A and B are shown apart, each in its own frame.
Chain A
């Protein structure tokens, strides 16, 4: 509709215009009075009128008259049609189609496609809704595929805010959506998929500890959600590799149903346990990948289990036993050989307290239950068959510790030569036993001993060295030669250069040889000097902890956040280098490597923090699985494992129409099913979004040619009449 109006917009104040107009009128009256003297009344009046018109016209230009033309335009409401391309939209929907195909057919199929009707009423834009929203052309819809990430509806709403007056969402309800909706258009939703027909078994949630203690029950709480399969019994299996470590059955009584259960097992082996929890895939399951969850549990010992066998009662045994028993983290089982085969018993068995040495039980069945084996001056061949040496070697190779404490029988008279046990020892075997008990001797740290955890009784290097030099003298020594000199930690004897303490690794395990049976003098010797006996106790403690790879002696500590990581999210964790403050060698020499579940190294970075020795490690796992984090130092490395899972939202594929309705309602829209008069409803919502706008056009009248022509005509007519009537 067009509307024209004449309006004024005075260029100067109106009172001034009135004044000018009054002066012009007075001038015209004066002119009339003067011309009346020379002309007849009619002619004088004609000239005065012409002059009045001219002046009025000129003065009226000061009012700045203009014409205003208004034109109103109607605009079609904009409609954003959002196709959810979340992974679940690729799952079966109704009519043998995928949910995405179902959504597409809903718009474009039929004798009068809904899309055409909508195009007539709306300005339609098409979008694909994946992790991010992207604009689509109509012809692209046939090629539209589901993505790998969930559609982020919240972000899409923010982008559509101000652009669309109405949204039409085609989805199964498995979307990313904040509970507080952002500003944006109202959403009308068309659901895909059929919740009643959906069949799936999903491990929804697993609560398992990152850290467990060996020998103590580990409980894993599992929540399982089932769609369909009513009346079936499903096995839930927890496995480590191919070994089943726990299993339970669940009975599905309704659909959908959520069942919680607890699986428990008792880990017997220290270390990283990579487990998988699974339910066998059932016929017709929509998603079989969500029937399995990886778990990584680090099993540590609550107590260090030590098996000590002493060749005879001795002060060395008693003081070492005291040191081990005083440590609450150590569980000691000790055997002392109270009589040798040549000793004569003079009483019946009822009067002895001697018990049989359970060699077979200990060394063939129970050995793996120990962390450390100590042979204290043991003439081994009397009591332990060489057949068990192979088993002992395997025990060490698999991560066990072996300590051999000296004395005249340390090397069993040289009988370890050529045996599997002898192979593990860090000393040269000659087939002979070399032992001296004569002059007392002191000890000193070797080069390796200065930095070795076992002999590092004080963090200060000089203080540590003085501590060892100040240790009471020893009286007996095994004459030993190392395989490699770097394994010698303490030296003593004549000239102070005979190796006394050896430490080495074998396979995953560690071995230590202390070539004296007088280490107890480090305890009582200090007491006799009026000093503390802590050095001996600390030495024994560090010896045990080093041999058993106790975390307290590890050079660094890796701490993960309490919440487990998810694929696609950057993960941050803390690394603490324990010796960094006192040892400048560590500065800048910390290296981080992260490997995915297939062993491929992935990008990671390390950031130094405060205080010194604290680091932050970062990496972004791209997919689920068990990741290996390796931190290397100049003096060793540490590895930890971390399970990365997919968020539950990405594993859940059931159509969630209830949620879709909640989303629609929250935005002021609604959910529509097929049987309803959808178009009518959409129209009702569309009316609210209809808009129009008015266009205004202004044209100044004084600049029109007609105005100039009128003015010139008035002036010309007056000039002509004046000339004719003889006034000019």
Chain B
């Protein structure tokens, strides 16, 4: 399966009689300000929605001022360039092999000192598969901090859209979970399969149906995705006092 960008590049190359090589970006190359860096781990299924990035990035560029790279970067935990990821993403359906102590240390350091990780259980089965493995890893990596439901006044629910419920391909839970260290939540976790709702095929059609809420649930997944991305780049900006009266007014509080 090739992306639309790849398809267009190929077509243009043929027209020009010159085959444009699709330069595979390495970690040594410069970093755009925003891109998805997806963790590749051992065991389980690390890439349940390979075509999730394009639609959400398009949406991001259409709605926000964020300048982003449409393609995602795949990274193992052992790569030191992981630290330059603005948005580290991990997803899966099934239980995966435990991280090594070195990998755990890399992730612990990354999360403790300002990195951001968005994790998704695309199967949505509590206590099974990816969910069980991920929670166990988080306990190992950040033993002093708990993965908890993020309250509705958390900045992630108001970083761009004012949302009260989180959509997705499935509706396992209406909220996000996260690990908060001081004022910053470096880990946000969802079991709604947001990326499944974002994923499109190369013809632009949604790959998955959103159940049970349909397109409204998909729209909600996009809003949640944008909010999570904006949160990863602005932290608790929306907690600043200047925002309070506006947000309260809009929430009829």
Q: Which A residues contact B (CB, under 8 angstroms)?
A: 311-319, 321-322, 325, 333-334, 336-340, 343-347, 349-355, 408, 437-440, 475-476, 517-518, 521, 523-525, 527-530, 533
Greatest chain A CB density within 10 A among B34, B63, B163 is at B63
Which residues of B are interface residues toward A (Cβ below 8 A)? Answer: 28, 30-34, 62-67, 80-84, 86, 109-110, 113-115, 158-163, 183-184, 223, 229-230, 232-235, 237-238, 240, 242-243, 246-247, 250
**Residues of A with C-beta under 8 A to B113:** 523-524, 527, 533
Cα separation A440 to B183 with both chains bound (whole Å): 32
Q: Are A351 and B162 in contact (CB under 8 A)?
A: yes
Question: Do residues A355 and B30 form an inter-chain contact, with CB atoms below 8 A?
Answer: no
Evaluate contact between B83 and A527: CB separation under 8 angstroms.
Answer: yes
Q: Which residues of B contact A351 (CB under 8 A)?
A: 161-163, 250
Given A338-B64, A521-B84, 7 new contacts (CB under 8 A)? A313-B66, A321-B237, A325-B183, A353-B159, A354-B160, A523-B113, A528-B84
In the complex, which of the residues A318, A343, A525, A527 has the most CB atoms of chain B within 10 Å of its own CB atom? A318
Complex contact A524–B30 (CB within 8 A): no
Residues of A within 8 A of B34 (CB): 314
The chain A residue sitting closest to B243, CB to CB, is A355
Residue in contact with A353 in the complex, picked from B30, B83, B158, CB distance below 8 Å:
B158
Instruction: Give complex CA distance A525, B85 in Å.
Output: 11
- Interchain CB contact under 8 A, A525 and B237: no
Establish whether residues B62 and A528, one from each chain, have CB atoms under 8 Å apart when the complex forms. Answer: no
- Tell me the bound Cα distance from A576 to B29 in angstroms: 49
- Chain B residues within an 8 Å CB radius of A313: 64-66, 229-230, 233-234, 237
CB distance from B130 to the nearest CB of A (A): 27
Given contacts A314-B33, A524-B83, A528-B80, contact A322 B114 (CB under 8 A): yes
Contacts of A350 in B (CB 8 A): 162, 250
Kindly state the separation between the CA atoms of A339 and B234 in the bound complex, as whole angstroms: 13
Known A322-B114, A353-B162; judge A475-B30 contact (CB<8 A).
Answer: yes
Q: A521 to chain B: which residues have CB within 8 Å?
A: 84
Task: Report which of A344, A518, A527 forms a contact with B63, defined as CB distance below 8 A.
Answer: A344
Please, which residues of chain A bring their CB within 8 A of the CB of B28?
440
| Chain B, Cβ-Cβ closest to A439 | B30
The 9 nearest A-B residue pairs measured at CB: A528-B83, A313-B233, A475-B30, A312-B65, A353-B158, A355-B246, A527-B113, A313-B234, A524-B83
Query: Contacts of B82 on A, CB cut-off 8 Å?
Result: 528
Closest-CB distance, B196 to chain A (whole angstroms): 21
Q: Are B31 and A475 in contact (CB under 8 A)?
A: yes
11 sample A-B contacts, Cβ–Cβ < 8 Å, listed by A number: A312-B66, A313-B234, A317-B233, A321-B235, A333-B242, A351-B161, A351-B162, A355-B247, A524-B83, A527-B114, A528-B80
Which residues of chain B are within 8 angstroms of A517 by Cβ–Cβ distance? 33
Cα-based distance from A65 to B6 in the complex (angstroms): 150
Q: A352-B160, A440-B30, A475-B31 are in contact. Are A322 and B66 (CB under 8 A)?
A: no
Most buried by B among A311, A322, A349: A322
Nearest CB in chain A to that of B247: its residue: A353
CA distance A232 to B45 in the complex (A): 91
Task: Pick the residue among A319, A334, A527 that contacts B237 (CB under 8 A).
Answer: A334
Chain A residues closer than 8 Å to B31, beta-carbon distance: 475, 518
CA distance A349 to B250 in the complex (A): 8
Residues of B within 8 A of A349 (CB): 250
- A336–B234 contact, CB under 8 A? yes
Chain B residue contacts of A352, Cβ below 8 A: 160-162, 250
Verify B65–A340 contact, CB threshold 8 A.
yes
Q: Are B63 and A345 in contact (CB under 8 A)?
A: yes
Shortest Cβ distance from A603 into chain B, in angstroms?
A: 53
| B-chain residues with CB within 8 Å of residue A354 when the two chains form the complex | 160
Inter-subunit contact A347/B65 (CB<8 Å) = no
List, in ascending order, chain B residues with CB within 8 A of A527's CB.
83, 109-110, 113-114
A357–chain B nearest beta-carbon distance, Å: 10
Contact B250 A347 (CB under 8 A): no
Q: Given A338-B230, A475-B30, A525-B84, do A318 and B161 touch, yes or no (CB 8 Å)?
A: no
Q: How far is the CA of A521 from the CA of B34 in the complex (A)?
A: 14
Give complex CA distance A496, B83 in Å. Answer: 24
Instruction: Report if A438-B65 is in contact (Cβ < 8 Å); known contacts: A314-B233, A333-B242, A524-B84.
Output: no
Q: In the docked arrangement, what's the CA distance between A523 and B104, Å?
A: 20
Contacts of A523 in B (CB 8 A): 113-114
Look across to chain A and name the residue whose beta carbon is closest to the beta carbon of B33: A314
Asked if residues B83 and A525 are in contact (CB atoms below 8 Å), the reply is yes
Taking the closest CB of chain B, its distance from the CB of A273, in whole angstroms, is 29
How long is the Cα–Cα vector from A353 to B115 in the complex, in angstroms? 24
A342 vs B64: C-alpha distance when bound (angstroms):
9
Contact B240 A333 (CB under 8 A): yes
Report how far A112 CA is from B231 CA in the complex, Å.
102
**Alpha-carbon distance between A221 and B183 when the two chains are bound, in angstroms:** 43
Most B CB contacts (10 A, CB to CB) among A313, A321, A354, A524 go to A313
Residue of A nearest to B184 (CB): A322
Minimum Cβ distance to chain B for residue A552 (Å):
25
A338 to B110 Cα, complex, angstroms: 26
- Output the nearest chain B residue to A407 by Cβ-Cβ distance: B33
Q: Which of A333, A353, A437, A518 has the most CB of B within 10 A?
A: A353
Q: Which residues of B contact A346 (CB under 8 A)?
A: 63
Also in contact, A318 and B234, with CB within 8 A (given A343-B64, A352-B162, A353-B247) = yes
The answer to whether A338 touches B160 (Cβ under 8 A) is yes
Check if B30 sits within 8 Å of A337, measured CB to CB. no
Contact A336:B114 (CB < 8 A) given known A343-B64, A353-B161, A525-B84: no
- Chain B residues lying within 8 Å of A530, measured Cβ to Cβ, are 109
CA A408 to CA B30, docked complex, whole Å: 14
Q: Of residues A337, A354, A439, which shows the largest number of chain B Cβ atoms within 10 Å of its Cβ?
A: A354
Given known pairs A317-B233, A339-B63, the reply for A353 and B238 (CB within 8 Å) is yes
Nearest to A529 among chain B residues (CB) is B80
Neighbouring B residues of A476 by C-beta, 8 Å: 30
Query: Which one of B81, B114, B183 has the highest number of Cβ atoms from chain A below 10 Å of its Cβ?
Result: B114
The distance in angstroms between the C-alpha atoms of A353 and B250, with both chains bound, is 8
- The answer to whether residues A524 and B114 also contact, given A333-B240, A344-B63, A475-B30 and a CB cut-off of 8 A, is yes
Give the residue name and chain of the B residue nearest to A530 (CB).
B109
Contacts of B80 in A (CB 8 A): 528-529
